[in-house]
A and B are shown apart, each in its own frame.
Chain A
Amino acid sequence: MNKYVSGRLAAVAVTAVMTAFSAHAQEVPAGYPADYAELIAKAKQEGTVSIYTSTDAAQSQKLQDAFTKKYGIKIAYNDLGTNGAYNQVISEAAASQTTADIVWSSAMDLQMTLVQDGYAAEYASPEAGTLPSWANYKNTLYATTVEPIGVIYNTKALSEDKLPKTYGDMITFLKSNKTELQGKVATFDPEKSGSGFLHHSNDARNRPDFWDLAKAMGDNGAKIYSSSGGMKETVVSGENVIAINIIGSYALDWVKESPNLGVHFATDYTPAFSRLALITKDAPHSNAAKLFVDFMLSSEGQSLLAEGGLPSIREDVTAGLNIKTLNERVGGGLKPIAVDEGVLEYMDQMKRVQFLNDWKAALGR
């Protein structure tokens, strides 16, 4: 019996070493630590990685397919929305039933909350050095994209040259075109949308004139939406003329297929948010998770994401847009939201309620 067991163990060990060796021979990317082959072998043994995300599968399909093809590791891709992902992660942890290996979400504040509340594991990715310093929070939270926040407008109702060039001009623009824009301005509802809250509150943190903009939108009878989809549809159809503080990475894709839709950014100030990735503390497939995070941050992974419409944080990526070419595209005012405790400012309940009250007052609701 013992002999049999040890015999099997030896066989397993031999196979492991052999796969590790062959992995080492073929797959360890240049500049990675020598023992990375071991990680690949373990990850392959785990065989699967489970991702909880707010990114539509269509946008990351190329990344997923390439990863599975390269390592033979299956991806369980759960598009749960920002709140769904957060909810499931904390519920699973409380029930000691952690299923999520990676949480990859655009809700920067919720992701940071998960880290602060101890749901994330630390992992120093070999790719960390290639990222801007603001994109890595203590080796637990990595920015994987940089996505500008801008304006979409109906090209049949407005021409690009009429649009304001700077953030400040937008306020004047809204005031001076009051009659044409009345009831035809759309923006995120920060009460119903986590992304909307993040975008508006980030502006409030950075722009003293944010409240003037809010008030100008209120004077134009702005309509508020809980999703980018709702806003896009109304601007495409001409029901609204302009939508402010919309996710520009989506919009850059939308304009390719919708002839009557335009996208526009302020040259002096274009904030950008990131989809942040973390590995859960009790990840059942922690090695596969590490491998996936590395792949997502690698030049290859970033190219595939950029092709899917999510601009890369790496300057060396040539497919789609990268942080440098994106900055040129938006007119030079790109201001990525840093991955740090700052995003937690409005998680404080008093501040949050105050912000929402100010917002409603500015909009006249």
Chain B
Amino acid sequence: MSTHIQAPAAVPLTKAAAEKKYPAKMPRHGNANFYRRIVIGLLAVAVLAPVGLIIYQSFLTAAFFSPRAHFGFDAYKYVFTDKNFYRALGTTAIFSFGMVAIAVPLGGLLAFLITRTDIKGKRLLEILVLVPMFISSIVLAFGYTVSVGPTGFVSLFVRSVLGFVPWNIYSLPGMILIAGLSHVPHVYLYVSSAMRNLPSDLEEAARTTGASVWQVSRDVTLPMVLPALIFAAALNILLGFETFGIPLVLGDPNGIMVLTTYIYKLTTLFGTPTYQLMAVVAVVLVLITLPLVWMQRRLLRNARKYAALGGKGARVATLKLGASGQVIALSLIGFWLFVSVVLPIGGITVRAFVDAWGEGVNLFDQLTLTNFSRMLEVPSLYNGIVNTIILSVVGGAAAVAIYLAVGLAGHRNWGMSNTVLDYIVLLPRALPGLVVGLAFFWVFLFVPLLTPLRPTLVSLFVAYLVVGLSYGLRLLQGTLIQVAPELEESARTTGATIGRTWKDVVIPIVRPGLAGAWALIMIIFLREYATGVYLMGAGTEVIGSLMVSLLQTGAMNTIAALSLISIVLTGAGLALALRLGAKIHD
């Protein structure tokens, strides 16, 4: 079944047609190829240096800097004969596909309800629905243990009513459910943007023939957004493979291990860290995800074609839900929001203001503010808060500028260099943040000119930049693609160079989009935790990684307070994003 045929408004461009319209070989004068090569070259260095180091490390018998290290396949031999590796691999696969099975239908449904129907409170819902995406999974997992863990306050309430707790979040199904619910926004983001760009004539036509909302969505809307759904599924499988926080907090106690926690285990299993084994697992993750990247690319190409032809005044008329439809839809969304926003954030909030909780404890007796006063007494904690703000606000702005430079390099470019660019961008996505952080720690330690930057926030910024690359670039590309090609073409025909066209036409048009992208990148940097574990030091602490290191000594009170601060900062970032007119959904 070809979805193209059923979506007549979105005429797909074949590669040949695309090249005819935007020839690969632009006129020599004002050709951006030089700029393009420089940018892609620099980006390749930034991404391939750590990735290359990891691949190199995987073929050695000891740490790459050790005099005892020599070339060999021992590390591969160990990993590929370790039954724990296969168990972790299997668990990861079940976890990822299970997560997708929950997130994709639910995200698709939410996208449909919010973009294609006349559901009430649309503007508010659009924002609320994305909230789980902006909270780091480690914070979410802590929050869930306090609210719906075996002795969480919700669990204890349910037990007092039913006599038992009907769920267990410390199990694979529990982890899958939580991960699935918290990844709904990732699906919503892609699918709603595809749905927004669909013209509504077909749905309206179907409705006039007497088809129900359900029939219309199944027979008309669903086929048209299928590519976006598949794309979102592929992306979520990728995300599932690199999830760390949820398995660390919820899977660990019962020995449920996924590939990322298996890597984490390799740091202690042999007493001293076995970097070569960690590298092998990271390489395996890359090899698993490369086909997904390839698939994403093919789908993204289609998605772009739709997007390029959308926005041409296709009015989106909404389907009428009717009174009972409204109630059903709103309670559905309300229930999902309760489970994936209220429960974890409520849990963290409670935990931050008490020093004990659980069975037989009256929370009101335990209320305290000491968890927060500690932030002012211990320099590393307030440093962490200040640094996190600097890194996300200033670093976020710098990142947007850099992503824009990269986005322009790939803008309206159908050449080979764009293929290279797409793979480079998605490569770091495949690696766990922990491993990327470790690799950058070494890059900044061993590359002579970079060494002075290691103990500064710059090293963290570069690692964050690479980790956030695929998300950030997609945001920018989404904005850039909305500039009507005619505007650029007319500028070019009057003799403007590509650089001038970008400066005077493209960038002014996308400026509002840039502000929104800045706020979103800010939030992404705010919630990052694994990347900084190896990079932060005295004076360069960040909230997320502080929580991971505090976990070792059991300062749960401090962790809860830091989590709440991080949520409040995220809320501020989100409010800013909305003020700046961020189109979160595009």
A-to-B contact residues, CB < 8 Å: 50-51, 54-59, 61, 75-84, 86-88, 90-92, 94-95, 97, 99, 109-110, 113, 154, 156-157, 186, 189, 191-194, 197, 223-234, 236-239, 247, 250, 254, 257-261, 346-347, 349, 352, 356, 365
Contact = CB atoms under 8 A, between A and B. Distances in A.
Interface stretch (B407-415, B471-479, B554-562): B554-562
Interface in B361-385: 361, 365-366, 370, 374, 377-381
Interface stretch (B103-111, B190-198, B533-541): B533-541
A334 B55 CA distance: 48
A347 B274 CA distance: 13
A83 B65 contact: no
Nearest to B540: A78
7 contacts: A80-B537, A84-B533, A87-B273, A91-B65, A156-B359, A192-B269, A259-B356
Given A83-B273, A238-B359, A91 B445 contact: yes
B554 A81 contact: no
B305 to A, nearest CB: 47
Contact of A229 (B265, B356, B358, B554): B554
A55 B365 CA distance: 30
Contacts of B144: none
Contact of A83 (B149, B254, B268, B558): B268
Contacts of A234: 253
B358 A191 contact: no
B379 A57 contact: yes
Interface in B551-575: 551-559
A261 B549 CA distance: 23
Given A86-B272, A110-B271, A223-B253, A58 B356 contact: no
Contact of B551 (A83, A84, A227): A227
Contacts of B549: 79-81, 84
Contacts of A99: 455
A74 to B, nearest CB: 9
Contacts of B269: 191-192, 356
A254 B554 contact: yes
A232 to B, nearest CB: 5
Contacts of A58: 374, 377-378, 381, 555, 558
- 9 nearest A-B residue pairs (beta carbon): A237-B358, A238-B359, A229-B554, A94-B65, A76-B538, A228-B554, A156-B360, A237-B151, A258-B356
B150 interface: yes
Given A97-B451, A259-B361, 20 more contacts: A57-B379, A57-B381, A59-B553, A76-B537, A77-B379, A77-B538, A86-B273, A87-B534, A91-B445, A110-B272, A197-B271, A223-B254, A224-B253, A228-B553, A229-B556, A236-B357, A237-B152, A239-B150, A247-B554, A260-B358
B88 to A, nearest CB: 12
Given A232-B554, A238-B358, A352 B271 contact: yes
Contacts of A225: 252-253
A78 B537 contact: yes
Contacts of B556: 229, 232-233
A229 B151 contact: no
Contacts of A109: 271
A79 B356 contact: no
B538 A78 contact: yes
A84 B559 CA distance: 19
Contacts of A56: 550, 553, 555
A233 B254 CA distance: 15
A365 to B, nearest CB: 6
A255 to B, nearest CB: 10
A81 B356 contact: no
Contact of B360 (A54, A75, A87, A238): A238
Interface string B516-555: 0000000000000000011001110100000001111111
Contact of A230 (B252, B366, B534, B539): B252
- Among B249, B269, B358, B552, find the residue whose CB has the most chain A CB atoms closer than 10 A: B552
Contacts of A352: 270-271
